[in-house]
A = this chain, B = another copy of it.
Amino acid sequence: MTPRQNRTRAERGIPEATVARLPVYLRALHTLQDRGVATVSSEELASAAGVNSAKLRKDLSHLGSYGTRGVGYEVEYLVYQISRELGLTQDWVVAIIGVGNLGRALAGYGGFASRGFRVAGLLDADEAIVGQQISGMTVEHIDRLEDVIAERGVSIAVIATPAGAAQKVCDRVVASGVTSVLNFAPVVLAVPDGVDVRKVDLSIELQILAFHEQRKAGGPGEHPLAGDGPPGTAQYVEAVQA
> What residues of chain A have their CB less than 8 Å away from a CB belonging to chain B?
1, 5-6, 8, 11-17, 19-20, 22-24, 26-27, 31, 34-35, 42, 47-48, 50-52, 54-55, 57-58, 61-69, 71, 74, 77, 81, 84-88, 90, 92, 94, 100-102, 104-106, 108-112, 115-117, 155-156, 158, 179-182, 186, 188, 196, 198-216, 220, 222-230, 233-242
Contacts and interface: CB of A to CB of B under 8 A. Distances in A.
Given A27-B199, A180-B212, A224 B74 contact: no
Nearest to A220: B84
A10 to B, nearest CB: 12
B112 A203 contact: yes
A109 B102 CA distance: 9
A82 B124 CA distance: 37
B101 A207 contact: no
Given A23-B208, A64-B224, A1 B112 contact: no
Given A19-B208, A27-B204, 13 more contacts: A1-B48, A17-B55, A27-B199, A68-B233, A68-B236, A71-B233, A74-B230, A87-B214, A87-B220, A88-B207, A88-B210, A109-B203, A196-B213
B111 A16 contact: no
B207 A23 contact: yes
Interface of A, helix, strand, loop or mixed by DSSP: mixed
Contacts of A216: 179
Nearest to A187: B34
A20 B208 contact: yes
A241 B55 CA distance: 7
A13 B222 CA distance: 7
Contact of A52 (B17, B68, B179, B188): B17
Nearest to A228: B64
A66 B203 contact: no
B81 A225 contact: yes
A112 B210 CA distance: 12
Given A85-B220, A212-B196, A240-B61, A204 B112 contact: no
